[in-house]
Structure 1
Amino acid sequence: MPSVPLISPPQLAAGAAHTPVLDMTARPVVPLMAVDLDEPAAPSVLDAAIRRARTCDRLLVGVTGATGARVPAGAETLAAALDMTLVDQGSESSGRPFVPVPDPAAALDGLAVAVAANPQAALVLAELLRSTEMLPVREALDAESLAYSTLLGGGEFQQWLTARGPRPLPPSVPEPVLVARHGNVLEVTLNHPARRNAYDRRMRDGLVDALNLAVLDDSVSRVVLSGAGPAFCSGGDLDEFGTTPDPVTGHLVRTRAGAGRLIHELRDRMQVRVHGTCVGSGIELPAFAGTVLAAPGTTFRLPEVGMGLIPGAGGTVSIARRIGRWRTLYLAITGTGLDAPTALDWGLVDTLLA
């Protein structure tokens, strides 16, 4: 198991995390460091550590050994500058920068393993989340897509693709998206239940067409999006991964012909009902909506970093704006599943259905 260097705030302030992050072959060296937030530091040192954290090329994860206690006074501001801080589930530090876990030490070990497996994707994602935190949605989506396109050409994704092997394109259905209007309400249903509504090109295009109806018609007061079958959406159809003609075309399709921008535009009129296992785009797209309703037993997962990629359907924008960049990074790097009650507590969904 990869070891994680542990540094104190004074060491961070002195530049301990600012050694070169790439070796002579341009491979990441020690991509992850932990910062001990229990270590006392003077206010001036904390200020210097915060400035260092904001310009660090590595992933910086705060840790604390205090079970059930609050992160020491003054360290909360430093935690906000880090990429995330792992705390005990009973901790009184419950804001967005803090990721409550049953065992912070075990969670740090899990992060180290995941980052070591795909360090390029992890580093790109961390920097992207920092950079786009305050950007308008349109510009942030462009940045996400450009980063995604870059990783499509990287060795980590190619390794995943090779290990998976060639797959035949999935069978199609006559109507992958169903649309019905009832008065001022437009009902849109993802309709490929046999594949748990895996999000492929035809489903994307059908969803975009349906959303454009509402964008162009102000008399549509509400759009309700749901999914047929056992799951709302199992994420991007893996059989289509790596089949885009070239990265530029992929970027333009994701941003100019994707559903994320439209759901964001319709957010005040948009309600999404999710159920079952929601993976990747199965939560990235709903998170743009003004209201997300989750059925009991719904779970959420972001697996892309494990494939050498990052969320590419808008999740670095939509999810980060709901739960913060810190928890988004944790979910994406670890691929950890999130249950519906926790998703409600974090703000990923708005209501749990009875």
Structure 2
Amino acid sequence: MTNPIDRDALSELLKEPNAADAADVRHFALDLDSFDPSQKAEVAEWIRRQPVPVIGVGEDNRGFAECVDVQAENQDQLNQLVRAIEAQPKACAILVQVTRVTSELPTDSALIMESLGYGTLQGGEEFRDWLAGYREQNPAKSQAVVDDAVAVDRNESRLEIRLNSPANRNALSVSMRDGLTEAFKLVAMDRSIEEVHVWGEGPCFSAGGDLTEFGNMRDLAEAHRIRQARMPARYLAQQAHRYTFHLHGACVGAGIELPAFARHITATPDTWFQLPEIAMG
């Protein structure tokens, strides 16, 4: 069981420039209710220096929760978070490092940082282990070729974009990515398009990245270059105020990350969201 660090114990850790390295730990848990409001700036700066997740524990009525990476209100939530971190420590560490930095960056710069973090993880053993297990449990099958993974229809100043690959739950395949990029670029270039509505055909909006394509790119630097050239979010974010996403069913990974850029979102009662990337290493 993880015992959260109180204000007295933290006062000793504050003396160490890199407490995670000195203590050889994969995470820290802080007893938020033990701290004094006057310590907030000092604690926040200490957290930013740590290369591992910092969990806040407690109800925290002093505003410290906004400084930590994630908050646990009780011991059960803390134990669940610790198990996830211990299972994929490198993925969790890079997640919090990227998240802390990108929250202070312009969108374009944040997308570059996110891509670099993603590429780093794809070169790691945690992702390789997950990929090997996935391929063992899901032998390669021939995929149905979709001529128009993205359908675009215009009616005067209104543009409708439909994710049109229901057979694979509108997974973000290369063809889907490129189709969305072209559609979003059109919006960015054509000021006469006043409103854009994005839908998904079939039982769900999108099940996220196409797992059958994961791990196919061996040159991770080239993969990063392609993402920067063909990333749909880059063009969507530029004109977010014109977009409305209409969600239903599963919205997994990119299936919620893309809609999150839009000014407006609608969702049917059966809509659910999941970000499974940590479990995938």
Q: TM-score, normalised by structure 1?
A: 0.74
What's the counterpart of residue 259 of structure 1? Answer: 232
Post-superposition Cα deviations, 1:226-251, rounded to whole Å, max 9, x if no partner, equal: 10011000000100001124111211
Question: Shift in Å at residue 167 of structure 1?
Answer: 2.3
Question: Shift in Å at residue 268 of structure 1?
Answer: 1.1
**Are 2:107 and 1:121 equivalent residues in the alignment?**
no
**Paired residues of 2:206 and 2:252 also in contact (CA < 8 A):** yes
**Paired residues of 1:176 and 1:206 also in contact (CA < 8 A):** yes
**Paired residues of 1:10 and 1:46 also in contact (CA < 8 A):** no
**Counterpart secondary structure, 1:38:** helix
Question: Shift in Å at residue 48 of structure 1?
Answer: 3.1
**Counterpart secondary structure, 1:174:** coil
Q: 1:307 to 1:155 in 2, by over 3 A?
A: same
Question: Shift in Å at residue 22 of structure 1?
Answer: 8.1
What's the counterpart of residue 38 of structure 1? Answer: 33
- Going by fraction, where is helix more abundant, 1 or 2? 2
What's the counterpart of residue 215 of structure 2? Answer: 242
What's the counterpart of residue 191 of structure 1? Answer: 164
RMSD (Å), alpha carbons: 1.9
**Counterpart secondary structure, 1:57:** coil
**Paired residues of 2:56 and 2:68 also in contact (CA < 8 A):** yes
**Paired residues of 1:10 and 1:49 also in contact (CA < 8 A):** no
What's the counterpart of residue 191 of structure 2? Answer: 218
Question: Shift in Å at residue 34 of structure 1?
Answer: 1.3
Q: Structure 2 unaligned runs (5+)? A: none
Inter-partner Cα distance in structure 2 for 1:255 and 1:146: 10
Inter-partner Cα distance in structure 1 for 2:250 and 2:179: 22
**Paired residues of 2:20 and 2:26 also in contact (CA < 8 A):** no
**Paired residues of 2:20 and 2:50 also in contact (CA < 8 A):** no
| Deviation >4 Å, runs of 4+ | none
What's the counterpart of residue 58 of structure 1? Answer: 52
Q: Structure 1 unaligned runs (5+)? A: 24-28, 88-103, 309-354
Question: Shift in Å at residue 13 of structure 1?
Answer: 3.2
- 1:141 corresponds to which of 84, 97, 111: 111
**Counterpart secondary structure, 1:7:** coil
Q: Which amino acid aligns with 2:70?
A: M
Inter-partner Cα distance in structure 2 for 1:252 and 1:286: 23
- 1:86 corresponds to which of 53, 67, 72: 72
Q: 1:294 to 1:56 in 2, by over 3 A?
A: same
Inter-partner Cα distance in structure 2 for 1:244 and 1:129: 25
Q: Between the two proteins, what is the percent identity of the paired residues?
A: 36
Post-superposition Cα deviations, 1:275-294, rounded to whole Å, max 9, x if no partner, equal: 10100000011111111111
Alignment of 1:301-312 (within 5 A): 301-308=274-281
Question: Shift in Å at residue 298 of structure 1?
Answer: 0.5
Post-superposition Cα deviations, 1:8-59, rounded to whole Å, max 9, x if no partner, equal: 1332232178434389xxxxx421221112225472x444333322222221
Q: 1:42 to 1:142 in 2, by over 3 A?
A: closer
**Are 2:5 and 1:7 equivalent residues in the alignment?**
yes
What's the counterpart of residue 133 of structure 2? Answer: 163
Q: Which amino acid aligns with 1:135?
A: L
Number of aligned residues: 276
Inter-partner Cα distance in structure 2 for 1:268 and 1:287: 12
**Counterpart secondary structure, 1:223:** strand
Q: TM-score, normalised by structure 2?
A: 0.92
Question: Shift in Å at residue 213 of structure 1?
Answer: 1.7
- 1:283 corresponds to which of 239, 256, 260: 256
Inter-partner Cα distance in structure 1 for 2:280 and 2:12: 35
Inter-partner Cα distance in structure 1 for 2:276 and 2:82: 16
